[in-house]
Amino acid sequence: MKLRAVGIALLLSAGASGAIPVESKLSLSSGYRKGTWDTNRALATLTVRPEIGPIETTAQIWGWYNWSYRGYGTREYDVSLRASKAQYWGEHWGVSVGLQEIHWGETFGFQPIDIINTRNFRDFPFLDHGINRIPAPLAQFFYSFGAFKTEVVLNPRSEYPILPTTVRGIPVIANTPDPWLHQPEGGIKFTGYLDQANASVFVYHHINRMPILRPDFAAGGLRAAFEPVTSVGASFSSANQEWVWRGDFLMTPNHPLPSGNRKAAFAVVVGADWSPEFAEGLTLGVQAQGDGLPVDTNSENVGASFLVRKSFVNNKLQAEAQLYQSFRFMDYWMRVQLQAGLGDGWDLSVLGESSVADSRSPLSIFPQGPRVAGTLNYSF
Amino acid sequence: MLFNILALLLSPAWAALTPTEILTKADKIRNPDASFVMKVKVTSQGDSQDHVFDVSTKGNEKTIIKTIAPTRDLGRDMLMVEQNMWAFIPNLKRAVRVSLSQKLTGEAANGDISRMRWAQDYDAKIEKEDAKAWTLFLTANKQGLTYEKVRARVEKKTFRPLDAEYLTKADKVLKNAKFESYKPIAGETRPTVIAIQDAVQTDKSTRIEIESITVKDLPDSLFSVERFSSR
């Protein structure tokens, strides 16, 4: 706590002194879901990147205030560090130490192998993993030899995810006293780079990232279970003229279940996106998805996800639509977003999203039904 | 014999150059040989907003394009290593692979400022020549380049590139480019403006203005995907 306060004080004084370039952003967002206000939030983000000799450092702080949250009328605020890290890069190796986020996925949408940081499942903006990832104190080491790279990630203390307040109307009990939380995590990834392609394999020991909710009748709610698991995975991407091919695979052989048993859970996403030369600013993507969910019933699922992205007027207006449709469950999720640059650092984005989820699906822990939201940003 | 010796002595330096040698000399006019950092302003027709980039280049194979303006695009940077290109997406805090042909802004493709040497990327032949210039026809000798074919005119006296047509594999002209405003910069008189015009929709044009070039030793590690993604 003291360290955090010192970090925030240093960051604010560095920015105020003008000694270090500061990236600042103010956002005002408002959401509406099923006849009630969703989240109304004012957010300020400040980032500085001072270099101390050969060491690159990054510090980011955010502060937000919710004047209403999901129809409860709850007023909340938070001021916290989002990043506080130091990096050094040698000729064949590099190290990055401190509070940070690490991302391993190649595909768009759910990004199943993005497992190093825990998530904020309460506010869950589906795709904005930069917001819903929770930064963790991580040490990351790189070593490269020819076209191959090795990456080791160590986390001395796993972070607690932020859980939804209710699931299907049942309260979720916060602050689960789980003996496994805050245990060390870590893993290793190998990557090979070929001509216009790269492929990786990895193994990572961690606490299960998808919360497993078990009934706690005495407490009158659902209690999340977090237990140690070991995941293995792979990813690739490859470009060929206007096409980019991508894939992610994750397998957790010993994932906990609501019943207290364990079984294998997996997710695989393979697809491509196409940015044709003749249609300026257009990208179309399609992905096949399959997963075996961590629930007690047989629940292998297959589906497809689609992406359409188009920029207009020299990127001043950007439109993006993403859709996921399951072929076996009733799972469905879509999101349409428009972002307009208003000039002088201002931009406005409007999004509409909707989801419907099978009770067996992890998607069901998030609020369902249509939601619209608008955000006004000012960067300076 | 005497006539032959006199002819050799009086003939211009470019008389016996191969197309690749001409291209190499033209590349040296466009950019310094060594690694350098370049500040570039890109202005597109109908766009009141200038886009400014810091471009760090090492050889022809390694480039980082860092967005300086507009402010709302800060962090939307790009890394090119050989024929691979990644874009950093700030709201996802991750780098994703993109193709070299994707647009940077307006008519400027990523490759227009990240890959500014022709000699290593294209096989060249002299299509025609007149007293003033050679017209070289370039065909890509590797996959993944922004343009499959280029028709470029190079001035004989100075080896300055004058203009170019960027073509598809089927020889359809996509864009026309003019190399203008030659000024002394980084130890050489170089073009400081590249004016690019869409060949079909001629009202669509983009002006790439090189504001400064600083020759600077850049470490290889600057161009690693891991470093680029980790910010």
- The predicted-structure confidence for B60-91, as pLDDT tens digits, reads as follows 789 999 998 888 788 889 998 888 889 998 87
Cβ A149–B226 below 8 Å, yes or no? yes
Query: Across the interface, which of B83, B90, B94 has its CB nearest the CB of A196?
Result: B83
A291 in Cβ contact with A328 (< 8 Å): no
Stretch 160-189 of chain A: residues touching chain B, C-beta under 8 Å: none
Indicate the range of A10-24, A57-71, B34-48 predicted with least confidence. Answer: A10-24
Whether A129 and chain B come into contact, CB under 8 Å, resolves to yes
**Burial status of residue A266 (CB atoms within 10 A of its CB: 0-12, 13-18, 19 or more):** buried
Q: How far apart are CA B118 and CA A375, in angstroms?
A: 44
Q: What DSSP string describes A234-292? A: EEEEEEETTEEEEEEEEEEEEEE-TTS-EEEEEEEEEEEEE--TTSTTEEEEEEEEEEE
**Token pair recorded at residue A295:** 């629930």
Alpha-carbon distance A193 to A200, whole Å? 9
- Cβ of B224 within 8 Å of Cβ of A237? The answer is no
Q: Distance (Å, rounded) from C-alpha A38 to C-alpha B66? A: 36
Domains and CATH numbers, chain B: 15-229 (2.50.20.10)
Residues contacting A198, CB < 8 A, separation 6+: A191, A192, A236, A237, A238, B84, B97, B225
The domain at A90-310+359-373 falls in which architecture? Answer: Beta Barrel (2.40)
Closest CA to A92 of B224, B8, B32: B224
Triad B138, B139, B144: Cα angle to 5°: 125
Give the residue extent of every domain in chain A.
1-84, 90-310+359-373
Chain A stretch 16-55, residues whose beta carbon is closer than 8 A to a beta carbon of chain B: 23, 49
Chain A contact for B4 (CB, 8 A cutoff): no
Pick the more confident residue, A231 or A164: A231
A13's enclosing H/E stretch is helix A2-17
Q: Is A341 in the B-facing interface, judged by CB distances under 8 Å?
A: yes
Nearest CA in chain A to B147: A241
Measure in Å the smallest separation between the Cα of B48 and chain A Cα atoms.
Answer: 9
Per-residue pLDDT, A348? 95
Q: How far is B188 from chain A (nearest CA, A)?
A: 31
Mean residue pLDDT of chain A comes to 87
Mean pLDDT within A240-262: 91
The arithmetic mean of pLDDT across residues B216-226, rounded, is 90
What residues of A are in contact with residue B96 (Cβ under 8 Å)?
106, 108, 237
Q: What is the ipTM of this complex?
A: 0.86
- A137 touching chain B per CB within 8 A: no
Q: Does A148 touch chain B (CB under 8 A)?
A: no
Mean pLDDT value across residues A176-184 = 72
**The predicted structure's pLDDT at residue A17:** 57
The count of CB pairs under 8 A between chains A and B is 129
What pLDDT is attached to residue B16? 74
Mean pLDDT of A275-283: 83
Locate tokens 């402010």: which residue? Answer: B71
Consecutive H or E run containing B169: none
Q: Residue A265: what pLDDT?
A: 92
pLDDT at A167: 83
Residue B7 distance to chain A (closest CA, Å): 48
Q: How many CB atoms lie within 10 A of CB B172?
A: 11
Q: Looking at the complex, does the CB of residue B75 fall below 8 Å from at least one CB of chain A?
A: yes
Would you call B3 helix, strand, or coil by DSSP? helix
Chain A, window 246-285: residues with a beta carbon less than 8 angstroms from a chain B beta carbon: 246, 275, 277, 280-281
Which two tokens mark A146? 């020819």
Which residue's entry shows tokens 């590249």?
B194
Tokens encoding B47? 């766009």
Q: Is B217 on the interface with A (CB under 8 A)?
A: no
Contact of B229 with chain A, judged by CB distance below 8 Å, is answered with yes
Residue B2 has pLDDT above 60, yes or no: no
pLDDT of B104-131, one tens digit each?
A: 665 566 667 767 778 888 999 999 989 8
Of the candidates A56, A144, A235, A150, the residue with the CA atom closest to the CA atom of residue B231: A56
Position A99, amino acid: L
By the 8 A CB rule, do A192 and A223 touch?
no
CA atoms within 13 A on the CB side of A59: 22
User: What is the distance between the alpha carbons of residues A261 and A240, in angstroms, rounded to a whole number?
Assistant: 45
What global pTM score does this model have? 0.85
Residue of B nearest to A25 (CA): B72
Q: For residue B103, what pLDDT band results from cuts at 50, 70 and 90?
A: low
**CA dist., res. B177 & res. B200, Å (int):** 13
The pLDDT value recorded for residue B1 is 54
